[in-house]
Amino acid sequence: MSPKRRTAKTAAARPTEVVPAYRWIRFLKQQDARGVALPATLLFSLLVRWCVALHGYSGFQDPPMHGDYEAQRHWMEITAHLPASEWYFYDLQYWGLDYPPLTAFQSWLCGRVASWIDPTWVALDSSRGIETHESKLFMRASVVALEFIVYVPAVVLLLGARQMGSASSWTTRQVALLTVLLQPCLLLVDHGHFQYNSVMLGFLVWALYFAAQQRYVLMAISFSCALLFKQMALYYAPAVFAFLLAKCFQRQHGLALFVKLGLAVAGTFGVALLPWIRSPDQLYQILVRVFPVARGLYEDKVANIWCALNVAVKLRDMFGVRTLLRMATAATSLAFLPSCIHLFISTRRLGAGTADSGSLRLLCYALLNTSLAFFLFSFQVHEKSILLPLAPALLLAIDEHWAVSWFVQTALFSMYPLLFRDGLQLPYCVLAVGWSLLRSCPACPSDKRTPRLVVLLQWLSTLAMVAIHAMHALVPPPSSLPDIYVVANVLLSCAMFAFFFVYFNYRQFTLLHSMHAQAKVKTA
């Protein structure tokens, strides 16, 4: 091979230096300042979170119900003052508790700390709708603190594992960490809109970390904690079950591992449900509150298949809730089963130890595909649910450079109607542009690893998003079609998510083949 061809091939294979994230990390490496990279990433991500927190939130100055911010504060109020037997029964018309027990315990802990600092922030009943500067500072700080306690350490440890990418250089892993921690969708939902999704996602990442360490009982416990924090973690359950079941079949003493996993899950749920475990009525109430089937097929205008179909076919007028639930369950199962079956078969065939890199990456693809199937087809989906497929997608950023960048861009666009209602237009725009610059989306010079067709399609989708935003800002919708721009958002986003669903499934099914091909090239 000639020197020119060798140089060109090397330049195309390595990450392009025009991407700001890579340029920053490579600069630190060249200056022999590797020790600065992690603290700088953590401090900068902390700064961005606080900047987002300076803006509005769900229900700001919007009585009488306010929004998700007030719901989270109200749960601190009732858990700090009432016995556990009343948590899921108290005044259900005003933000009744409808999340699993670990969220209730987190609310209790935050409520006790708030009561110790200033009892008026969580005074029973009389504190409803409180929006003092000090109480808001505490609420915002609680989100940041829990994220840096649960989510951030798990991400740092997992991305430090060499099993997470085909290219596992220090530079690549540091860029991946920067990418995950500056993902705009989670920043805007947790630190803008206001929620604690990072805790649930943190438990998921801990489960993946334990999987990388081949500590499967701890993996099962961590994932159980994710389920017990937010019921949306069920989006991941089929993939996790398939992976752990395959590990049981893979090992010589698989039955013993199966029993240990079952005891670990049962024990975790038993401890979490301990305050209510003696009362069937209490357990039934928790179940009803956590799974509110009566709310309907979807909420607001969410970019999934059912909401997109509703533009032409009014399914909610044609069928009852039970029928729609069966339809959604069947469609969701058909969508995620191929990915889970492939994960089970492939993981079972892979040997332990050296092949764990392949099984862990397969798991990440399956988590992505399963959760995206739930988002597109399942019952009772919210705009914020797109955070679930985003989490494993970002962990694949090393292997899926352009796809992850584009996927995050689309997910951010799909949440705009929700963020617009919260008055978060400014941080939305700043983070959208910032993400494009950070990850080399169409606004940046083209990454040499990105196919030209992808760059063209990415440009077209970006221009469509900008056009919808411009029309929404400058042209009032016709009175007969007041939601036309929101519907346009749903249709474009849903089409893009369907494309990513097909693409990521293809990537999962061809992963092992591509790994074998790369291994042959290295040994040649």
Summarize pLDDT for 94-152 with one digit per residue, the tens. Answer: 999 999 999 999 999 999 999 999 999 999 999 999 999 999 999 999 999 999 999 99
| Residue found under tokens 């009566």 | 294
Residues 468-472: contacts with CB under 8 Å, at least 24 apart: 468/492, 469/416
What percentage of the chain carries pLDDT values higher than 90?
Answer: 66
- Would you state the pLDDT for residue 454? 83
For 296, the 3-state DSSP assignment is coil
- Would you state the pLDDT for residue 250? 85
- 371 Cβ contact partners less than 8 Å away, ≥ 6 residues apart: 235, 236, 239, 388, 389, 391, 392
Residue 289 banded pLDDT, cuts 50, 70, 90: very high
pLDDT, tens digit (0-9, with 9 covering 90-100), for 401-418: 889 989 999 999 999 999
Phi, psi of 515, rounded to the nearest 5 degrees = -65, -40
Overall residue count recorded for the chain in this entry: 524
Residue 447 banded pLDDT, cuts 50, 70, 90: low
Q: Which two tokens stand for residue 172?
A: 């690549």
Q: What is the mean pLDDT of the chain?
A: 88
**CA 214, CA 352: separation in Å to the nearest integer?**
9
**CA 370, CA 352: separation in Å to the nearest integer?**
24
- Would you state the pLDDT for residue 106? 97
**Where would I find the H helices in 291-424?**
305-309, 315-318, 321-349, 356-377, 387-395, 401-414, 416-421
Residue 20 banded pLDDT, cuts 50, 70, 90: confident
- Would you state the pLDDT for residue 314? 86
Range with the lowest mean pLDDT among 144-148, 194-198, 238-242, 449-453? 449-453
What's the pTM? 0.92
- Would you state the pLDDT for residue 16? 47
**CA 22, CA 48: separation in Å to the nearest integer?**
19
| Residue found under tokens 């340029």 | 23
Higher pLDDT, 292 or 495: 495
pLDDT, tens digit (0-9, with 9 covering 90-100), for 149-207: 999 999 999 988 765 655 568 888 888 899 999 999 999 999 999 999 999 999 999 99
Mean pLDDT (whole number) for 426-432: 95
pLDDT, tens digit (0-9, with 9 covering 90-100), for 482-494: 899 999 999 999 9
- Would you state the pLDDT for residue 445? 45
pLDDT, tens digit (0-9, with 9 covering 90-100), for 323-348: 888 999 999 999 999 999 999 999 98
| Residue found under tokens 């639930």 | 325
Burial of 436 (0-12, 13-18, 19+ CB in 10 A): buried
